[in-house]
Amino acid sequence: MLKIAKERLNDLYAKIAQTQGLFLPVKKAGEVNYCVWSEGKEVSLETLKTVKSPKNMFFPQTENMMKFKTEGKNIEVIDVRESFDERKPFVLFGVKACDYKAIEVLDKVFLADPVDTYYQNRRENTTIVTLACSKPEESCFCGVFGIDATAPQGDVTTWLDENYLYWQANTEKGESLTAQVEELFEKGGEEEVAAQQETTKVVLESLPYANLDLSRFQPENLNELFDAPEWEKMSEACLGCGTCTFVCPTCQCFDIRDFKTRDGVIRYRCWDSCMYADFTLMAHGNSRNSQMQRFRQRFMHKLVYYPSQNDGMYSCVGCGRCVNKCPQRLNIVKVIKTLGGKNND
Amino acid sequence: MQRIGVFICWCGSNISATVDVVKVAEAMKNEPGVVYSANYQYMCSENGQQLIKQAIKEHNLTGIVVGACSPRMHEATFRKTAEAAGLNPYMVEIANIREHCSWIHKDMDEATEKAIILVRTAIAKVKLNAPLMAGESPVIKRALVIGGGIAGIQAALDIADAGFEVDIVEKNATIGGRMAQLDKTFPTLDCSACILTPKMVDCAQHEKIDILTYSEVEDVKGFVGNFSVKIRRKARYVDESKCTGCKVCMEKCPSKKGLNAFNMNLNTRPAIYIPFAQAIPNVAVIDPEQCIKLKTGKCGICQKFCGVGAIDYEQKDTFVERQYGAIVVATGYKPIDLDAFNEYGYNDNKDVVTSLELERLMNAAGPTNGVLLRPSDGKHPKVITFIQCVGSRDSSGCGKPYCSKICCMYTAKHAMLIREKYPDTEVHVFYIDVRTPGKNYDEFFRRAVEQYGVDYIKGMVGKVYNENGKLMVQGSNLIDNEQVTIESDLVVLAAAIEPEPSVRKVATLLTASIDTNNFLTESHAKLRPVESPTAGVYLAGVCQGPKDIPETVSQASACAAKVIGLLVKDKLKTNPCVATPDESMCNGCSQCANVCAYGAITYVDKEFRIGGGKTEVRRVASVNPAVCQGCGACTVTCPSGAMDLKGFSSKQIMSEVEAICKK
Amino acid sequence: MQEVTTEKKEFVPNIVAFCCNWCSYAGADLAGSSRLTYPANVKIIRVPCSCRVNPSFVLKAFQQGADGVILCGCHPGDCHYVTGNYYTRRRMALLYSFLNYLGIEKERTRLEWVSAAEGARFSAVMNDFVKTVTDLGENKRLTDLRVKEGE
Amino acid sequence: MKEVELKMKERAKALLESGEVARVVGWKKGDFCFDPSPATFETVDELNEFVYDYFCGANLSKYLIQIAKKEGKTAVFLKPCDTYSFNQLVKEHRIDREKIYVIAVECLAKLDIEKIKAAGVSVVTGVEVVDKDVNVSSPYGNVTLYKPDVVLTKCATCNKTHQVKDEEIILHQRPAREVDRFAEVVKLENMTPDERFAFWREQLSKCIRCNACRNVCPACSCVKCVFDNPNSGIAAKANDDKFEEQLFHVIRAFHVSGRCTDCGECSRVCPQNIPLHLLNRKFIKDIDTNYGEYQAGETSEGKTPLTSYTESDIEPNDAVNGEAK
Amino acid sequence: MTKTERIENLNRLSGTDVRKCMKCGKCSGRCPAFKEMDIKPHQFVSMLGQGKIDELLACNAIWNCLSCMACVERCPRGVAPAAVVEAVRDTVVRAQGANGIKAEDIPPIVDEYIPQQLLVSAYRKYNK
C-alpha cells in the first residue's frame, strides 16, 4: 500500500493529467460533479455524493452518434466515433463503492451483445480509481446490495483520512497507473486504512436503511408486485420529472434525436427518463399512459425485471441520490418498505 | 414527397441587372425537393404565367416558389395562376428578390448570393405549407343600426335605399336624437327640425326600415354576416299599434310635474307624453316613475279617455331576437356633467345654462316658445356671456382631454342669432382658441364678430358669482393683460361632449374596442375610419369621436356604403390564414382570448381520450375563422404552443429562420 | 509564387429581420423601390403582424447562428390589427431585458417601428443595426455551437 | 407547529367524517424527520400518517389540477405562498374552484435539509425549532443552527399572505413584512454583461434537464409542454450544454412571466441548486418597474401584464438601457 | 450658474411642466390678487417657458401672490402657476442668504405645538 499527503494531491492530479484525461469530483457553482481536471479547479473528494454519478463519463447525457452533411441533394454520413476524444485513455478518480458497482450494472447492458461501441470505447480506455467511504449518511444503503463501502473495487482503490490518501492497485491497468505516479508516494498506511474501515463499518451498520429486506423482490413475485394496489398511493405525489433517473448511477435509458445544424443534421442520443410522459412514445400513443404506470416501471425495473435477466443482480446500488434529490421525497426505499413485506417495518 | 417548382423572374432588367437569375435558377435545381427550376423575363406576364401553369401540370408540382418582386405586388397574381393549374393557391410562396435584393444591392455576386438564400428560404417555407381553403359563411341581408339620431337615420336610409332591411334600435321613445333638440344649424342657419324631421318621416315610411324605439340591445352573438341580436323592448304601457298620437291623454293626465328631458329639463311634461310634436313614432309613452296608476294603482284617467284603447298598464318588457349581417353603432353623445366645475356656478345659478339648454330656450317649440327669456325670472337677458371650452381640453382630470370640436361653431351661431334677434343685447364670448376648420366655417365666425359685433375675449373665466342678482363673470383678457369682470344676465357654458354612456355596454356586447375616453376605436385612424376592428361592426357619429352634423352624416353614409358592400355578398370568403388551436394541447387558460382584438376566441368543453380507455373533459379554445383576422397575437400568448397560425405557422417561420442562418 | 495572406477575413454578420406585412415589410419594399441600399446580410422574414413573432423565433435565430435579430412593426397606434404591436412591445421589452440579464449583448436585439412610408428610415435602421452588430462581432453567447460544428 | 398539525388533523378528520369532502390533500410522514411527501388522505385511518412540520415546503396547489377532476370535493391545506398559485390556476381555468375546499395554514418558513447538511450536519436524526434556533440532533453530534440561515431560499424573502377566500384559516395570519426579494436580481443587474454571462453560464451548465423545475411549477400547467412537442420547433429532451439549457430556461421563464407567483418551487426542487427563481424574478421586477406593480395570483380574475398594454408603454430599447445602470 | 441652469433650476423647483400650458388665462381670470400682481399668473408660466427669468426675479408679484392656489385649482391642464411663483420667490429668498435659518436658531422658536412638517419646510426653504 502507498500513501500520499493530502496537500500533495494536486501534484498527483497534475502528474496523471500529463499523460491522460483526469475526471474527478469538482465543485462548480456550489455543486460537485465529475469534471475534467485542470489546474485551479476545486476538487472535492470529501463529497460523499456527487449530484450526477460518474456514469456520465461512459454514457454521457448527450452524445453525438453520427452526422449527416447535406449539400444540395447529396447527403454524406460521417462516423463521429473516428474523432472521439474519449478514445484517448483517461482516469476516473474518486469513484465510490456504490458508483463503481453501478458501472458493473451498466456494463451488463451496454457491453452485452450487441455491444454499444460508443460506451465500449470509453469504458476500455478508462482506469478507475475508487475511493472508500468514511462518512456515510442516512440515505446510504449500499450494504443492502452487498457492497462494502469501505473496500471498493476498481483498478486502484484509495482511502482518504485527515492526512493522507492511501493507494492500492488492484489490476494491471491500476499497476501501470501506479507506475506512472509512484514517485509521489511513500509506502505504508495499512493500519490506518484498517482502522478507518473498522469505524466506518460500525456507522454503516447503524444507518437507518442498513437492514432493508429485499427478499420479496424476486422474479416469481413479479405479477403480485406488479398488481400491488399500493402503487397508486405511492406514486400520487410524483411530478413526473426526471430527477431520480438522471441522478441515478444505473439508469440507462436513452432517446435518439436529430439536431439540425447549419449544414446538415447531427444524430445524437440523450438520457431519457421512464418518468416522462413521452417515454417510449409510439405512433399509437404511449403504452404507459398514467404516472402510476411510469413510476411502477422504474422500480419494477430496478428490483425485478433487471435482476430476473441478470442473475439476480439488482439495478439499484443504494447510493441514495434519489432519496436526497426527489423534489417530493419519493424514492426507492419507500417502495421497498411498502412492498417488501413486514421485515421492513 | 414534395415536388417543388422554382420560377425566377428577371423583371426585365430590374432583377437581372444585379442578380444572376440563371445562376439562381440553376442553383435551385440542387435543392432537396426541387424538381423544376426555370427563369423567365417577366414571370407575371401572360407567357410567364403560362410557363408556371405548364410546369405545374407537367411536373406534377406540389408547391411553387416564385422569385420575383414583392409579394405585396404579385402574390395574388401567382396564387391565381397556381389555382388555374389545379394547385392550391396557398401552396405558393414568393421570394422577394427585387425590392429586397436587386434594387438595393449593387454588387452582382453579393446580390446573387442573397437571392439564392431568399429563394431557399421560400422553399423551406413552402415545403411546410398546407393547402388552405378559404371558408365561406352566409350573409344575412339585414342590418342593425344602434341609435336613432341623425347618424343612425342617415345610415338606415342609405342602407334601406339600396334594398336591404334595416332595423333602428333607439333607447328613447322617439328617433331624432340630439339634432332634434337643436334650434338652428351652422353654418347655414337652417332650422334643425326642418331638415331632420323629413328624414325621420322617411324612415318611418320606408318599407325596408323597422324602427324599434324605447328598445335596447341586450345581447349579441355571432360574427360578421351572421349576428344574432337580442333586443329588449321596454314597456311603454301604450300599444304602439293603436295609439294615434292625439295627445288627449297628455291633457288629461293629472301628474304633470315630470321634467321634460327633451327640453333639457327646463319645463315639465305629463306622466304620459309624446317627447315632441314631430316624434317618430308619434306614440305616447308612460313614465312609470311618475304615473300615479303605475305607482299606486289608482287613477287610470288616460285609459278612460283614450279613444282607441291603447293604454295598457300591464305591459311588460318584451324581447325580440333578430339576425343581422352588419351592425352600425351610432349611439351619439351627451354634454358632460358639470358638477366638477363649480367655478362657473352652474348648479347654483339658474341663469347659468349650457349651450344645449340655450338651444331649447331659443327654439320655437321650447319652454319659452322661442322667446329668449332667462330661466330665473323670465326676463330678457341684456348681457349674455358665453364661456367656451368648459371641460374640453382639460387634462386636470375634471373634464375631457380632447377638443369637443363643435363648440366654437355653435357658440358663434348662438351669439349671432341673439344679436340678430335682440340687437340691444350685449354678447361676450370668452375663448381660448377659436377653431373653425371647415367649409364656410371661419367666414361664419367672422360674421359674428364683424357683422354682429359679438365681443370675443381671449381668455378664460376664473369664476362666476352672484352679486345682488347679477352674474359676475370674472376672467382674463389676455390680449390686454387685464382681469375683467362682466356683469351678465345670462351665462352660457359650452360644455364638453362625451359619448353616450350606454356605449360601454354596447361595445362590450360587440367586443368592439373602446378608448380611454369611451369613444369607440376605429379599425384604422386614416384608412378604415368607419369600421370597428370587429368585423361587421361600423361606427357612425360621435360614438367614434367628436364631430358636427355634416361630418356625422358623411360618416353615416360611409358606414352605409360599407354595410351595403357587405350585404350584397351572398357569402363571405374568409381569410384562410387564421389561428387554429390544437385542442389536444390546449389548456383552456384563456390567455389567447385576452389578447384577441376581434373576440374570435371562445371556449368549449371537449372530451378527450387519455389512454387506458378513460376520457376527460377539458376546456379548450375555439377560433371562429370568420372573425379571426390572422394577426397571430394569440399564438405567442399560448404557452403550450397549441395555438398556431395557418400560412404563418411556427414551424414555417422557424424553417425560414433556419434557412436564412444556413451556411 | 503568391504570398499567403494571413489577413483575417472581414466579419460579416448574419442578420434576421422580422417585418410585419402591413407597415415594415412595405417600408422595406419602399426602401427597395427608392434604391436605398443596406447590407445584403439582412434577410427579411415576412410575418402578418409583429405580434406573430414568438420569442422562440428570436432565440431560434440566435441558436442557429444569427448574429443579430431585429423586429420591425407598425408604429404604436397604427397596427393593422389594432393592438398587436402593443403586445409585441411588452413581450420584446421583457425578452430583451432578460437576454441582457443573462449577459447576451443587448445590441444584438432590436425593435423598431417602421411605417410603410418610411423607406429611408428602414434603410437607415438596417445600416445602423448591421454596423452595431458588426462592431460586436460574432454571436458566441447564444449560439448552439453544434450548428457550426464541422465547418 | 405540533399544535397546528393537530388542528389540521382534526379538521381533516371532521371533513372526512362528515362527508363534506371526499379527500384531503396534505403531507405524509417520511422515513426521516425531514422527508414528508405530498399525499391525499381518503379515510380517517390514513390520517395517522398525516404530518405538518418545518419540512412541508411543497406547494400542493398544482396537484389540484388533476385531483379536482375526481368525484366529490377535495380539501387542501395551502400555505400563504401556495394560495397565489391556487388563484392563478383558478384564473386560468385549470382548477374548478367549486370542487376545492381550501384550508389555509400558517407557514412560519420551512427548512431546507440541504442547507442544514451543508452547515456540517451530515446525518440528521431530529430537528426541533425553538424560535430562531434550529436544534439538530445527529449521531455525529448535536448542533444548533440559526433558523434564517437554513430556511428554504423561497422562504427567506417571502412576505406572502393568504390570498384566497378561505373556507378557514388555521392559526393567525402572519402580518406582511418588508423584504427585498429583488436584492439578488439587482446585484446581477449591476454586474457587467460579461460577469452576468459567466454567472449564468456556470449556473446553467449544471442543468441536467430533469424538468423538475417545470414539472413542479404551478404556472407550467400545460397539457403538453412545447419542449415535449416535436412540432413546436424547439422540442428537446436533453440539454446540450452548448446552448440548450439557455433556450429551455429562457423560454420557460418567458412563458411563466406575468403568471409566475414567485412561489420559489423551481429553486427548491432543482437537484443542482440552480437559482432559477432569479430568472423569474427578473421578469417580475421588469414588469413592476415598467408596467406597475403586479403580483400574480393575488386574485383569480383579470388580465396578466403580458395580455394587456397601455399606449404609452416603455420601448424595448429603453427598457433594456434603462436597466443597465 | 449659467442662465440655462438657472432656468432648469426654476423648472425643477416649481415641479410643474410649463409646456403643458395652453394659454387660456384661466389662472389670471381667477386670481384674487390680479391687480397687485405686476406680472400676472399666466405670465409667470409663459415667461418661465421663454426663459425671461431676470424679469421674474425682479418683480414684485412674488410678494403679492397670496399663495391661495386658486390658479392651481382652476388650471385645466394641471399646470401650477402658483408653484412657479413660489419657485421664483424661493430663488430670490435663497439668494439673499441672510435670513437663512441655522440649527442653533431652532431651539428657542420650537415649542411643542410646532408641527414637524413646518420645521422641515423651513429648512427646505431657507437652507439651500
pLDDT level of residue B612 (50, 70, 90 thresholds): confident
Structure confidence at residue D242 (pLDDT): 61
Measured CA to CA, the distance from residue A185 to residue A177 in angstroms comes to 12
C15-143: CATH number: 3.40.50
Measured CA to CA, the distance from residue B254 to residue D21 in angstroms comes to 63
- Asked whether the predicted pLDDT for residue B38 surpasses 50, the reply is yes
Q: Residue A164 is placed in which grid cell? A: 493522507
pLDDT in tens, B320-342: 999 999 999 999 999 999 999 99
Measured CA to CA, the distance from residue A8 to residue B296 in angstroms comes to 107
* Cα torsion C6, C7, C8, C14: sign: negative
pLDDT in tens, B3-13: 999 999 999 99
User: For chain C, what is the mean pLDDT?
Assistant: 88
Structure confidence at residue D138 (pLDDT): 85
CB neighbours of D226 closer than 8 A, spacing ≥ 6?
Answer: B639, B640, B641, C56, D232, D234, D235, D251, D255
Q: Is A263 on the interface with C (CB under 8 A)?
A: yes
Comparing B93-102, B300-309, B398-407, D242-251, the range with the smallest average pLDDT is D242-251
Could C147 and A69 be called an inter-chain contact, meaning their C-beta atoms sit closer than 8 Å? Answer: no
Considering only alpha carbons, which residue of chain D is nearest residue B128?
A: D231
| Nearest chain D Cα distance for residue C86, angstroms | 6
- Asked whether the predicted pLDDT for residue A7 surpasses 90, the reply is yes
- Asked whether the predicted pLDDT for residue C8 surpasses 60, the reply is no
Comparing B16-20, B566-570, D150-154, E2-6, the range with the smallest average pLDDT is E2-6
DSSP output for D204-273 = HTT-----HHHHH-TT---SS-GGG-GGGS---SS--TTTHHHHHHHHHHHHHTTT-----HHHHH-TT-
User: For chain A, what is the mean pLDDT?
Assistant: 92
pLDDT in tens, D226-281: 888 887 878 888 766 665 557 889 999 999 999 999 999 999 999 999 999 999 99
User: For chain E, what is the mean pLDDT?
Assistant: 86
Q: Is domain B579-646 classified as CATH 2.60.40.1120?
A: no
* Cα torsion B357, B362, B368, B373: sign: positive
Could A257 and D237 be called an inter-chain contact, meaning their C-beta atoms sit closer than 8 Å? Answer: yes
Closest CA to B168 of B178, B180, B156, B158: B156
Residues 128-187 of D with CB under 8 A from A: 139
Considering only alpha carbons, which residue of chain A is nearest residue D61?
A: A237
- Asked whether the predicted pLDDT for residue C130 surpasses 70, the reply is yes
E44-61: average pLDDT: 93
Could E23 and B462 be called an inter-chain contact, meaning their C-beta atoms sit closer than 8 Å? Answer: no
CATH of B142-234+317-332+505-567, one of 3.30.70.980, 3.40.50.720, 3.50.50.60, 3.40.50.300: 3.50.50.60
Structure confidence at residue E125 (pLDDT): 63
Structure confidence at residue C116 (pLDDT): 85
Structure confidence at residue D234 (pLDDT): 83
Could D232 and B650 be called an inter-chain contact, meaning their C-beta atoms sit closer than 8 Å? Answer: yes
CB neighbours of A89 closer than 8 A, spacing ≥ 6?
Answer: A19, A20, A21, A125, A126, A127
- Asked whether the predicted pLDDT for residue E43 surpasses 90, the reply is yes
Q: Is D188 on the interface with C (CB under 8 A)?
A: yes
Percent of chain C that is helix, strand, coil (3-state, to 5) = 45, 15, 40
- Asked whether the predicted pLDDT for residue D322 surpasses 70, the reply is no
Q: Of B30, B32, B611, which has the smallest distance from its Cβ to A289's Cβ?
A: B611
Measured CA to CA, the distance from residue A260 to residue D69 in angstroms comes to 40
The interface pTM score, or ipTM, of the predicted complex is 0.83
Q: How many CB pairs under 8 A join B and D?
A: 62
Structure confidence at residue E101 (pLDDT): 64
Q: What is the dihedral of CA B221, B222, B223, B224, to 10 degrees?
A: -100
pLDDT in tens, B577-586: 999 999 999 9
- Asked whether the predicted pLDDT for residue B508 surpasses 90, the reply is no
A21 beta partners: A90
- Asked whether the predicted pLDDT for residue C4 surpasses 70, the reply is no
Neighbours of chain D (3+ CB pairs under 8 A): A, B, C
Structure confidence at residue A342 (pLDDT): 72
Measured CA to CA, the distance from residue A20 to residue B162 in angstroms comes to 91
Measured CA to CA, the distance from residue B147 to residue B175 in angstroms comes to 8
Closest CA to B2 of B52, B62, B60: B62
Chains E and D touch (3+ CB pairs under 8 A): no
Closest CA to B219 of B321, B324, B332, B331: B321
All structural domains of chain C with their residue ranges: 15-143
Q: Residue B101 is placed in which grid cell? A: 435584393
Which residues of chain E are within 8 Å of residue B460 when distances are taken between CB atoms?
24-26, 29, 76
Residues 213-242 of D with CB under 8 A from A: 214-216, 224, 228, 236-240
Mutate to test the interface with B, among D67, D71, D89, D223 (most CBs of B within 10 A): D223
CB neighbours of D82 closer than 8 A, spacing ≥ 6?
Answer: D59, D60, D61, D263
Q: Is C146 on the interface with D (CB under 8 A)?
A: yes
First to last CA, chain E: 15
pLDDT in tens, C43-78: 999 999 999 999 999 999 998 889 999 999 999 987
What does the DSSP 8-state code read for residue E84? H
B570-579: average pLDDT: 90
Could E29 and B460 be called an inter-chain contact, meaning their C-beta atoms sit closer than 8 Å? Answer: yes
Q: Are strands B4-9 and B34-40 parallel, antiparallel or unpaired?
A: parallel
Provide the angle, in degrees to the nearest 10, between the axes of the packed helices B108-126 and B21-28.
40
pLDDT in tens, B247-282: 999 999 999 999 999 999 999 999 999 999 999 999
Closest CA to D61 of D22, D97, D107, D14: D97
pLDDT level of residue B444 (50, 70, 90 thresholds): very high
| Nearest chain B Cα distance for residue E42, angstroms | 9
Q: Is E24 on the interface with B (CB under 8 A)?
A: yes
* Cα torsion A93, A97, A98, A104: sign: positive
Distances (CA, A) of D204 to A31, D68, D196, D198, D245: 12, 35, 12, 10, 6
The residue ranges of DSSP E strands in B530-613, in sequence order, are: 537-539, 571-574, 579-581, 601-611
- Asked whether the predicted pLDDT for residue A86 surpasses 60, the reply is no
Closest CA to E67 of E83, E78, E43, E53: E83
Measured CA to CA, the distance from residue B57 to residue B87 in angstroms comes to 9
As a whole-number percent, the residues of chain D with pLDDT over 90 amount to 65
Domain B4-126, what architecture? 3-Layer(aba) Sandwich (3.40)
pLDDT in tens, A12-40: 999 999 989 899 999 998 999 999 999 99
CB atoms within 10 A of CB D99: 17
| Nearest chain C Cα distance for residue B513, angstroms | 9
Structure confidence at residue B524 (pLDDT): 78
Please, are residues C148 and C65 in contact by the beta-carbon 8 Å criterion?
A: yes
Q: Is C95 on the interface with D (CB under 8 A)?
A: yes
pLDDT in tens, E72-122: 999 999 999 999 999 999 888 878 765 566 667 667 767 777 777 777 777
Structure confidence at residue B1 (pLDDT): 77
* Cα torsion A243, A247, A253, A255: sign: positive
Please, are residues B214 and B185 in contact by the beta-carbon 8 Å criterion?
A: no
pLDDT level of residue C6 (50, 70, 90 thresholds): very low
pLDDT in tens, A62-83: 888 999 998 888 999 998 876 6
Please, are residues B115 and B101 in contact by the beta-carbon 8 Å criterion?
A: yes
Please, are residues E62 and E44 in contact by the beta-carbon 8 Å criterion?
A: no
More confident residue, A88 or B657: B657
Calculate the CA E122 to chain-centre distance.
Answer: 14
Q: Residue A150 is placed in which grid cell? A: 469501505
Q: Is B100 on the interface with C (CB under 8 A)?
A: yes
Residues 184-223 of A with CB under 8 A from D: 203, 206, 208-209
Place of cell 494571413: C6
User: For chain B, what is the mean pLDDT?
Assistant: 94
User: For chain D, what is the mean pLDDT?
Assistant: 89
Cis peptide bond prior to B275, omega within 30° of 0: no
All structural domains of chain D with their residue ranges: 1-110+155-179, 113-150, 180-325
**What phi and psi values does residue C71 have, to the nearest 5 degrees?**
-120, 125
Instruction: Determine the topology of domain B334-498 in CATH.
Output: FAD/NAD(P)-binding domain (3.50.50)
Report the predicted TM-score, pTM, of the whole model to 2 decimal places.
Answer: 0.77
Please, are residues D93 and D67 in contact by the beta-carbon 8 Å criterion?
A: no
Closest CA to B493 of B404, B570, B364: B404
Please, are residues B264 and B338 in contact by the beta-carbon 8 Å criterion?
A: no
Considering only alpha carbons, which residue of chain A is nearest residue C65?
A: A262
Which residues of chain D are within 8 Å of residue C56 when distances are taken between CB atoms?
226, 232-234, 251
Q: Of A29, A138, A246, which has the smallest distance from its Cβ to D123's Cβ?
A: A138
Closest CA to E9 of E20, E1, E17: E1
pLDDT in tens, A265-311: 889 999 999 999 889 888 877 888 889 999 999 999 999 999 999 99
Please, are residues D149 and D119 in contact by the beta-carbon 8 Å criterion?
A: yes
Amino acid at A189: G
All structural domains of chain A with their residue ranges: 2-61+82-206, 219-344
Three-state SS at C20: strand
Three-state SS at B521: coil
As a whole-number percent, the residues of chain B with pLDDT over 70 amount to 100
Cis peptide bond prior to A327, omega within 30° of 0: no
Q: Residue B577 is placed in which grid cell? A: 390564414
Structure confidence at residue E62 (pLDDT): 93
- Asked whether the predicted pLDDT for residue A194 surpasses 90, the reply is yes
Structure confidence at residue D2 (pLDDT): 82
Structure confidence at residue C9 (pLDDT): 65
| Nearest chain D Cα distance for residue A175, angstroms | 34
Q: Residue B324 is placed in which grid cell? A: 343581422
Cis peptide bond prior to A114, omega within 30° of 0: yes
Structure confidence at residue E117 (pLDDT): 77
pLDDT in tens, A314-334: 999 999 999 999 999 999 999
- Asked whether the predicted pLDDT for residue D178 surpasses 90, the reply is no
Q: Residue A211 is placed in which grid cell? A: 437492514
* Cα torsion E112, E115, E119, E125: sign: negative
Could C97 and D286 be called an inter-chain contact, meaning their C-beta atoms sit closer than 8 Å? Answer: yes
Structure confidence at residue D19 (pLDDT): 93
Domain E3-96, what architecture? Orthogonal Bundle (1.10)
All structural domains of chain E with their residue ranges: 3-96, 99-128
Q: Is B105 on the interface with C (CB under 8 A)?
A: yes
Q: Of D223, D256, D306, which has the smallest distance from its Cβ to B640's Cβ?
A: D223
Mutate to test the interface with A, among C63, C146, C151 (most CBs of A within 10 A): C146
Q: Is E40 on the interface with B (CB under 8 A)?
A: yes
Closest CA to D86 of D157, D15, D162, D9: D162
Measured CA to CA, the distance from residue A123 to residue E113 in angstroms comes to 87
Q: Residue D325 is placed in which grid cell? A: 445602470
pLDDT level of residue B435 (50, 70, 90 thresholds): very high
Structure confidence at residue C2 (pLDDT): 43
Measured CA to CA, the distance from residue D182 to residue E88 in angstroms comes to 41
Q: Residue D104 is placed in which grid cell? A: 389555509
| Nearest chain D Cα distance for residue B70, angstroms | 27
pLDDT level of residue B72 (50, 70, 90 thresholds): confident
Measured CA to CA, the distance from residue B149 to residue B445 in angstroms comes to 26
**What phi and psi values does residue A184 have, to the nearest 5 degrees?**
-85, -15
- Asked whether the predicted pLDDT for residue A85 surpasses 70, the reply is no
Three-state SS at B495: strand
Structure confidence at residue C1 (pLDDT): 39
